[in-house]
Amino acid sequence: MVRGVPETEHRPVDAVLFDFHGTLAQVEDPIAWVIAAAAACGAALDRGRATVLADRLVTAGRAGGPLPHRVPPHLAEHWADRDLYEHSHRAAYTGLASTVPSDVEGLADALYDRLLGPEGWLPYPDTEPTLRTLHDAGIRVGVVSNIGFDIRPHFAAWGLEPLVDAFALSYEVGRCKPDPAIFLRACGMLGTDPERTLMVGDTPADAGAVKAGCAALVLPAAEPGHTNGLGATLALAGCH
C-alpha cells in the first residue's frame, strides 16, 4: 500500500497535487531559448553561436535548468529568496545570465521573459490526458510549485486551466517545498484531507508531502516532448 493511500472499496484518493517543472511541463530546448530571446532583442544568431552561448548560460544557471555551478556573492540573497519573491526570482536569473558575455543588448532580460510566457515551455505529452482523466473522474487537482512568477497563464494558453482546481505557488504562499505547510495549504485550497491526497513530482522536495500526511509519487523528469510516466498517477488515484 502506498503511504497515505488507504485500501478501501472507494477510490483511494480524493485529490492529486502536481509539481510543475519536470512533472507537468519542461522548459524549451536551450538553443531554441537563446535564439528566440536574441531575436526578441533584434539579433539573429546562427546555430553554432547559439549553441556555445546556450551551454554557457545553462552552466551559469537557467531557471528550469540545473543548479548554477556558482552563485556570485552579489546575487546570493536574491538566489536564496528566488522562490519567495518575484523581484528576487528575476534578479537572480537575469543576474546569472549577465555573467555570460554577450554582445546582444538586453539578452538577460529577454531570456528571463521567455519563462513568463507559455511559448518558453512544453507540456509533457501525457499531461493533458492525465489531468483530464482525473478531472472527469471527479478527483480534485492542484499544482504545487516552487516558483517566482504566475504560471496560471501558461495553463490557460495550453487549454489546461479548467482541469486544475487550485495553484499553490511558493511566492504566493510564502513557503517552499519540502516545507509541509505548502502541501497543507494546497489541500486546504482543494478542501481535501491530506491522508486522501497524492503528491506527484520529480524531486525529493516533492516527497516532502509525506510529512504533511500525503502520499507521494516521484517520477523522473523527461526531456521536452517525451512522456515521463504521469500515467502511473491514474492507477494510484483509482482511475482504471
C-alpha cell at 168: 499553490
Q: Is 185 helix (H, G, I), strand (E, B) or coil?
A: helix
What is the four-CA torsion angle of 73, 77, 79, 84, rounded to 10 degrees? 180
Domain boundaries, the chain: 15-24+124-236, 28-120
What confidence score (pLDDT) does residue 65 get? Answer: 83
Contacts of residue 80, defined as CB under 8 A and 6 or more positions apart, other chains included, come to none
Cis peptide before 178 (omega within 30 of 0): yes
The pLDDT-based confidence of 240 (bands split at 50, 70, 90) is low
Residue range 55-102, pLDDT digits in tens: 999 999 998 888 898 999 999 999 999 999 999 999 999 999 999 999
The pLDDT-based confidence of 12 (bands split at 50, 70, 90) is confident
Residue range 16-65, pLDDT digits in tens: 999 999 999 999 999 999 999 999 999 999 999 999 999 999 999 998 88
Contact, 201 vs 216, CB < 8 A? yes
Residue range 180-238, pLDDT digits in tens: 999 999 999 999 999 999 999 999 999 999 999 999 999 987 777 778 889 889 988 88
Sheet of strand 140-145: strand arrangement: 166-169, 140-145, 15-18, 197-201, 215-218
Contact, 219 vs 227, CB < 8 A? no
Average pLDDT in the 114-122 region? 94
Contact, 72 vs 99, CB < 8 A? yes
What confidence score (pLDDT) does residue 8 get? Answer: 39
Name the amino acid, one letter, at 97.
A
Q: Please tell me the distance from the alpha carbon of residue 78 to that of residue 83, in angstroms, as a whole number.
A: 9
Which homologous superfamily is 15-24+124-236 in?
A: HAD superfamily/HAD-like (3.40.50.1000)
C-alpha cell at 176: 517552499
Residues composing the chain: 240
